[in-house]
A and B are shown apart, each in its own frame.
Chain A
Amino acid sequence: MNNQPPTTNEPNALEKVVDFVDERVGLKTLQAKMLNEPVPGGSRWAYAFGSVLLFIFILQVVTGILLMFYYVPSTDHAYDSTQYIIHEVEYGWFLLSYHFWGSSAMVVMVFAHMSQVFLWGAYKKPRELIWLVGLALFGIVMAFGFTGYLLPWDQRAYWATVVGVEIMDKTPLIGDFMARFLKGGPTPGQMTLSRFFVIHVMVLPAGLMALAGLHIFLFRKAGPAGPFRGTSAELKAKTDYFFPRQIWKDIVAMASVFLIICSLAFIEPVVLLEQATPDPGDYHPEPEWYFLFLFQLLRLKMFGGEFGQFLGAIAIPGAFMGLLAALPFIDTNPERNIFKRPASLVSWIVIMVGILLFTVSAILNREFLH
C-alpha cells in the first residue's frame, strides 16, 4: 500500500492558472451567472431556437471566412474563383454548400424563433425591447441572404440583384439614391459586387454581432418569459437553471441542425449557373426560396403598375414590419396564452398559410414557363 499516491489538497498547475485568471477576471462568477439563469417552468425544446440561431451564425462566420481565402470579389474573377472553390479546392464544395444551406437554415430558424416568441406572447411587457432588437436582427438576416447570393456572380446572382435593387428603388424619396448607392452606379457591375461584398462580410456581421449581443443582454435583464400558463407555485416547482437541462436540449438541437445542413450540402451541393451577364439567355430569373412569396406577390395584377408595385413591394411589407414593431405597444393585454388570444392565433395562421401558398404557386408557375 506504499505505492498509493499521497492525497493532498494542493492545487495542480492547471487549477493554479485557472485560479490566477479567476482572481483577476472573476470568470467563475461570470460562468456561474451565465449558467445559473432560472428558467421559469423548466427547460423546453421550444426554447432552443435562439441558441440554434447563434450556433448557425457562428458556423456561417467560420465557413464565410474560409471561403474568403479563395474568393475574389471582382466581376472578372468572382465567378471563376467560386468555381475554383467548388471544383478544385479540397472540400471547397462542402464549405460553400454548407454556407449556402446554413443561410437557408438561418431563415427557417428565424421564422421558428419569431413564431415561438409570438405564440408564447413573450414579446409583451417587459420584453418589448428584446422584440424590437429581434426584428432588426430579422432584417439583418434577410439582408445577409440578399447580399450573399450576388457574390458568386452567376446568372441567378445577377438577376436576383437586378430585381431586388429595382424593388428598393420604389421606396419613396430615398429609393433612387438607395438603389444607386447599392449598385454603385446606374447599372449593376463591379461597384455593385464590391458594395455587396463589403456589406456582406463586414457591415452586416458587425451589425448582427452588436445587435445579437444587445438582444441577449436585454433577454438576461428581463429574464426568460416561461410558459404561458400555470400558477406561479407550479412554475416555481418546475423551475430549473439554464444549465444543465436547457443547455442539453440546446446542444442536441444544434447537433441536429448541423447534421441536417451537412446532409443537404452532400445531397444538394451548390452548382453555379452561367456567369452573370445582362443577357439572361434561357435562364428564368428567380430569387432564393425565402423571397419567392414576395416574388409571386409581385406577379399579381393588383400589385402591377407604378402604384401597385409600391404597394406590394414597399408599402405592404413595410406596414407589416411596422405592425410587428408596434405589436408589444398595441397588444398591452398581459394575457400570454395563445389559446386565449384568438386574433393573434388566426393572424399567425393566415400569414404562414399565405406565405406557403404564394411560395407553392411560385414553384408551380415554373412549369407554366417551360
Chain B
Amino acid sequence: MQPKLAAKAVCSNGEIGKVSKVIMDPISHEVSHVVVQENARQKLDRAIPIGEVQEIVSEEEIVLKCSVSEFVQFPLLNRDHYVTTHEVEIAHLEDNIHVTPGEVLVPLPCLERDVPRRTFFNNMTHAIGALIALPLAFPVLKYLMKPMYKPFDNAWFSVGNEKKITKENIGFQFKFTRGFKEAFMPEQQIEKNIWIVRATPEVKKEVYSGKDRKFYDNKGDLLWVNKANSPLIGFSGKCPHLGCGYKWRRTKSNPDGVFICPCHLSLYDESGKVIDGPAPRGLDILPLEVNAAGEIRIIDVEYKAGVKDQIRLL
C-alpha cells in the first residue's frame, strides 16, 4: 500500500501533520521518502525516509517511528533540489506510482544543485550557435546568388532580310536562333522571335517623336542609335505586361491587325502603343541595323515586364 497524498501523519506520541508530497527514487522507481507537512507553525515540509515509516495504516493514515520531538530533527525539504515527474523523462517511473494529485518529486543530481550560471550557459549556447550560423550565412547567400546578376549581352544577331516585309504598318515576325551559355552547360541554341514593322512617316513619328533613340550599355556608354527616320522598327518578342509572347492578329475592330498577347489580352498598335488591356507600357523597341543588302541585325535586349519604365535585364 502506498501512502496517499494528504494522508494524516501520526508520530508515536500524537498527530504531526499530513503527507504533502512523495519522493521517488529515480533508479529503483520506488517511493523513497514521504514529505510530511507539519500542522503547526509555518507548515514546514520535512522529507521522511520510507524506512522511518512504522506502518501505513490505511490510505488515509500513516504512522511514523519517531516521536513529535524527534520529528523536527528530520531535514527540511529543499524544494529546489527536486523536479516533478512531468519535468523529467524517466522511463516507466510512473508505473509504480499510484498517487495522482499533488507533486511527485525526483531529486536533482548533486552537480545540478545550486548551479549559479544557468542563464550564462543558456546564453552561451545560443551565442555559439549564432557564431556557427553567421559566418555561414554570407557564403551561402553568395553561393546561391552566383548566376543572378550577369553583364548585358550586347551581341548583334542576324534575323533575316527586310524583303520579307511586304506591307507597311503590319507586324512581321522574325525568328532567330542564338547561343546561350549558362554556368557549366555547353552553349545551347535557343529559338527566339522579334517583330518588325515597316513604318509609314506617321507611325515613325508616333514611335520616335522625331528624336533618335539611343541605347546604352550597363556602363553608360553609347551602344547604338536608332535613327528617327529609319523605317524599320523592331520590337522585342516579350510582352511588356508579364513576359508572354504576343502575336500580330486581325480582329473585328482592327481589320489590318494589332499586336495581341494571348496571356492577359493586352493589345498594341503597329507603333507598339498600348490600345487595350492591362500592359503598363508599350512594346520595347530594339537596337536595329539594316545593311545595304537588306540584312537586318538586332541586339537581343530584354526588359523587365510589368513596370512603367524600361529596366534592362539582358
Q: Which residues of A contact B (CB under 8 A)?
A: 26, 74-76, 159, 162-163, 166-167, 169-170, 176-177, 180-181, 183-187, 189-191, 277-280, 284-286, 295, 298-301, 303-306, 308-309, 365, 369
Say yes or no for B314: interface residue by CB 8 A criterion.
Answer: yes
Known contacts A278-B237, A309-B280; A185 and B306 CB within 8 A of each other: no
Contact between chains at B182 and A189 (CB < 8 Å): yes
Residues in A with CB closer than 8 Å to B305 are 166, 169
Residue among B144, B244, B278 with max Cβ neighbours from chain A (10 Å): B278
Sample (26) of A-B pairs whose CB atoms are under 8 Å apart: A74-B185, A76-B185, A159-B263, A163-B244, A163-B263, A169-B304, A181-B148, A185-B148, A186-B150, A186-B302, A186-B314, A190-B185, A278-B193, A279-B192, A279-B237, A280-B244, A285-B244, A285-B262, A286-B263, A295-B263, A298-B242, A300-B278, A301-B277, A306-B306, A309-B306, A365-B265
Within the complex, the shortest CB–CB distance from B98 to chain A, in Å, comes to: 18
- In the complex, the 3 A-B pairs of residues with the closest C-beta atoms, listed nearest first: A304-B278, A280-B245, A284-B262
Residues in A with CB closer than 8 Å to B238 are 278
Contact between chains at A184 and B148 (CB < 8 Å): yes
User: Which residues of B185-205 have CB atoms within 8 Å of chain A's CB atoms?
Assistant: 185-186, 188, 190-193
Say yes or no for B183: interface residue by CB 8 A criterion.
Answer: yes
Residues in B with CB closer than 8 Å to A162 are 242-244
Give B189's nearest chain A residue, CB to CB: A277
Known contacts A169-B304, A278-B237; A191 and B243 CB within 8 A of each other: no
Within the complex, the shortest CB–CB distance from B17 to chain A, in Å, comes to: 37
Say yes or no for B307: interface residue by CB 8 A criterion.
Answer: yes
Give A368's nearest chain B residue, CB to CB: B265
Contact between chains at A181 and B145 (CB < 8 Å): yes
Contact between chains at A187 and B314 (CB < 8 Å): yes
Residues in A with CB closer than 8 Å to B265 are 299, 365
Known contacts A185-B182, A306-B280; A278 and B306 CB within 8 A of each other: no
**How far apart are the CA atoms of A163 and B245 in the complex, in Å?**
10
**How far apart are the CA atoms of A365 and B149 in the complex, in Å?**
37
Contact between chains at A190 and B278 (CB < 8 Å): no
Within the complex, the shortest CB–CB distance from B170 to chain A, in Å, comes to: 19
**How far apart are the CA atoms of A181 and B146 in the complex, in Å?**
9
**How far apart are the CA atoms of A26 and B91 in the complex, in Å?**
10
Say yes or no for B214: interface residue by CB 8 A criterion.
Answer: no
As a 0/1 sequence over residues 299 to 314 of chain B, the CB contacts with chain A under 8 angstroms (1 = contact) are: 0001011111000011
Contact between chains at A278 and B190 (CB < 8 Å): yes
Contact between chains at B191 and A299 (CB < 8 Å): no
Contact between chains at B188 and A75 (CB < 8 Å): yes
Say yes or no for B298: interface residue by CB 8 A criterion.
Answer: no
Residues in B with CB closer than 8 Å to A277 are 190-192
Within the complex, the shortest CB–CB distance from A296 to chain B, in Å, comes to: 9
Q: Which residues of B contact A (CB under 8 A)?
A: 91, 144-145, 147-150, 175, 180, 182-183, 185-186, 188, 190-193, 237-238, 241-245, 262-266, 276-280, 302, 304-308, 313-314
Chain B: interface secondary structure?
Answer: loop
Contact between chains at A166 and B306 (CB < 8 Å): yes
Residues in B with CB closer than 8 Å to A304 are 241, 266, 277-280
Contact between chains at B192 and A305 (CB < 8 Å): no
Give A303's nearest chain B residue, CB to CB: B278
Give B249's nearest chain A residue, CB to CB: A369
Residues in A with CB closer than 8 Å to B277 are 299, 301, 304
**How far apart are the CA atoms of A163 and B190 in the complex, in Å?**
19
Give B265's nearest chain A residue, CB to CB: A299
Give A284's nearest chain B residue, CB to CB: B262
Within the complex, the shortest CB–CB distance from B150 to chain A, in Å, comes to: 6
Within the complex, the shortest CB–CB distance from B293 to chain A, in Å, comes to: 25
Contact between chains at A279 and B191 (CB < 8 Å): yes
Contact between chains at B280 and A305 (CB < 8 Å): yes
Residues in B with CB closer than 8 Å to A285 are 244-245, 262-263
Known contacts A74-B185, A186-B314, A365-B265; A308 and B278 CB within 8 A of each other: yes
Residue among B180, B188, B313 with max Cβ neighbours from chain A (10 Å): B313
**How far apart are the CA atoms of A170 and B311 in the complex, in Å?**
13
Contact of B302 among A187, A286, A309 (CB under 8 A): A187
Contact of A75 among B144, B185, B279, B280 (CB under 8 A): B185
Within the complex, the shortest CB–CB distance from B144 to chain A, in Å, comes to: 7
Within the complex, the shortest CB–CB distance from A181 to chain B, in Å, comes to: 6
Residue among B192, B244, B308 with max Cβ neighbours from chain A (10 Å): B244
Give B261's nearest chain A residue, CB to CB: A285
Contact between chains at A163 and B243 (CB < 8 Å): yes
Contact between chains at B307 and A306 (CB < 8 Å): yes
Within the complex, the shortest CB–CB distance from A280 to chain B, in Å, comes to: 4
Within the complex, the shortest CB–CB distance from B35 to chain A, in Å, comes to: 29
Contact between chains at B237 and A299 (CB < 8 Å): no
Within the complex, the shortest CB–CB distance from B234 to chain A, in Å, comes to: 15
Contact between chains at A186 and B243 (CB < 8 Å): no
**How far apart are the CA atoms of A187 and B280 in the complex, in Å?**
20
Contact between chains at A305 and B185 (CB < 8 Å): no
Contact between chains at A189 and B144 (CB < 8 Å): no
Within the complex, the shortest CB–CB distance from B198 to chain A, in Å, comes to: 22
Within the complex, the shortest CB–CB distance from A57 to chain B, in Å, comes to: 27
Residues in B with CB closer than 8 Å to A189 are 180, 182
Contact between chains at A279 and B278 (CB < 8 Å): no
Give A366's nearest chain B residue, CB to CB: B262
Within the complex, the shortest CB–CB distance from A149 to chain B, in Å, comes to: 16
Residues in A with CB closer than 8 Å to B280 are 304-306, 309
Residues in A with CB closer than 8 Å to B276 are 301
Contact between chains at A180 and B148 (CB < 8 Å): yes
Additional A-B contact list (15), CB under 8 Å, known A185-B150, A309-B278: A75-B188, A166-B305, A176-B304, A181-B145, A184-B147, A185-B148, A187-B313, A190-B185, A191-B147, A191-B182, A191-B183, A285-B245, A301-B276, A306-B280, A306-B307
Give B246's nearest chain A residue, CB to CB: A280
Residues in A with CB closer than 8 Å to B145 are 181
Contact between chains at A278 and B242 (CB < 8 Å): no
Residues in A with CB closer than 8 Å to B149 are 180, 186
Known contacts A185-B148, A191-B182, A285-B262; A170 and B279 CB within 8 A of each other: no
